[in-house]
């Protein structure tokens, strides 16, 4: 029943709003998807809103773990406040990787403070596009939580 709730809500919103139907048809036309005049528009909207937590093929950083480590080494700016306090540990950032590999809506789930949370967010925001997650060979949106490790050298 809980899985049907977003579909029902989308259906109710779309059937009560002619403007929303027009906007959806225009968006689908821009993406190359066609919708016939009598077709229900609720299914494409519901499919676009689905975010998976697990996929057959999970999203991955382009080039794998070695490329991820190289990216962090090249781009990290350890905050002075964290260095002065000797702060180190993991900052957990959650985000969604869409069908094209874009990182959407990054947020700190578990932070450390001392400027490390902001630095972790900055790093995620400048990351290259990821390889998207896939189900049945089709790219899908996947929620992902990434720990970023900070180590203060003494």
Map out the domains of the chain as residue ranges. Answer: 4-49, 64-150
Per-residue b/e over 45-74, b at no fewer than 16 CB within 10 Å?
A: bbeeeeebeebeeebbbeeeeeebeebeee
Within 8 A by CB and 6+ apart from 150, the residues are 76, 78, 82, 87, 88, 89, 90, 91, 112, 116, 119, 120
Whole-angstrom distance, CA of residue 70 vs CA of residue 75 = 9
Nearest Cα neighbor of 57 from 149, 136, 116, 153 is: 136
Q: Is the dihedral of CA 42, 31, 64, 86 positive or negative?
A: negative
Query: For 43-85, how does the pLDDT look when each residue is reduced to its tens digit (9 = 90+)?
Result: 555 555 799 999 999 999 999 999 999 999 999 999 999 999 9
Residues of the chain with pLDDT under 50: 1-42
Q: Please identify which residue in the block is written with the tokens 């109710």.
A: 12
Q: Among 3.20.190.10, 3.40.630.30, 3.30.1150.10, 3.40.47.10, what is the CATH number of 64-150? A: 3.30.1150.10
Whole-angstrom distance, CA of residue 136 vs CA of residue 3 = 20
The predicted pLDDT at position 6 comes to 37
Instruction: Look up residue 97 and give its two tokens.
Output: 């990787």
The predicted pLDDT at position 32 comes to 43
Q: Please identify which residue in the block is written with the tokens 């406040």.
A: 81
The predicted pLDDT at position 61 comes to 97
Angle at 60 between CA 104 and CA 49, to 5 degrees: 40
Q: Is the dihedral of CA 83, 85, 89, 95 positive or negative?
A: negative
């Amino acid at each position: 029943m809980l899985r049907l709730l977003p579909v029902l809500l989308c259906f109710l919103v779309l059937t009560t709003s002619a403007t929303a139907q027009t906007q959806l048809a225009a968006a689908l036309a821009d993406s190359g998807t066609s919708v016939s005049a009598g077709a229900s528009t609720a299914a494409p909207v519901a499919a676009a809103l689905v975010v998976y937590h697990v996929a057959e093929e999970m999203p991955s950083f382009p080039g794998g773990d070695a490329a991820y480590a190289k990216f962090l080494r090249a781009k990290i700016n350890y905050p002075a406040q964290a260095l002065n306090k000797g702060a180190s540990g993991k900052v957990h950032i959650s985000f969604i990787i869409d069908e094209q590999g874009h990182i959407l809506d990054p947020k700190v789930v578990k932070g450390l403070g001392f400027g490390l949370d902001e630095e972790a967010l900055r790093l995620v925001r400048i990351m290259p596009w990821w390889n998207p997650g896939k189900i049945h060979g089709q790219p899908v949106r996947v929620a992902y939580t990434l720990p970023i490790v900070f180590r203060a050298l003494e």
